[in-house]
Amino acid sequence: MKLCGFARVALLGVAAGFCVAAVAADESARFLKAHDKWNALSAKTYTYDLGVSIGAVFGYGHFHVKVKDGRCLARHYAGVGLGRPSFGDRLRYRPCDDYLPADLFKLVGDDIARGWKVKDLTTDARYGFPSRASIDNDGTIEDQGWAFEITNFRLRQ
């Protein structure tokens, strides 16, 4: 059976769509499994370093995050561009918003629900927290995207 050029392209497109859907479903299942693993751990005291993009191309900030009995404090110790801390910020710990692993899970989940592609989604094999992710929002101007990376995670019991 011979297929014309258009039929071949259409058939390949449909097959590629099924493959992408299968990969996306697999990623979703892995993401949910990691989320459940993190929730089951119910960690109350831990520390880590968090790198966060500030509007994608505008800068990147590094924070040292301490969580003790569920209370979160962060110190902005390094960065580039708009993510560069002031001298005072390098020395002080302040209450942190949106830096907890649960907040990062919510951020990723919300953007997946919007239909955006999450690139480099990596979860920690041992504890399940999201260790790295970035968003690909197809270059829309209103939101420059985001990225984060958790390093030096230490669980304190």
Q: What would the pLDDT profile of 24-63 be if each residue is shown by its tens digit?
A: 556 677 778 888 888 888 888 999 999 888 665 677 888 9
Contact 46, 67 (CB under 8 A): yes
Domain residue ranges in the chain: 5-155
Query: Looking at the domain that runs over 5-155, which CATH code has it been given?
Result: 2.50.20
Give strand pairing partners of 53.
Answer: 60
pTM for this structure?
A: 0.73
pLDDT digits (tens, 9 = 90+) for 113-138: 877 777 778 888 888 888 888 876 66
Residue 102 CA neighbour count, 13 Å, CB half: 11
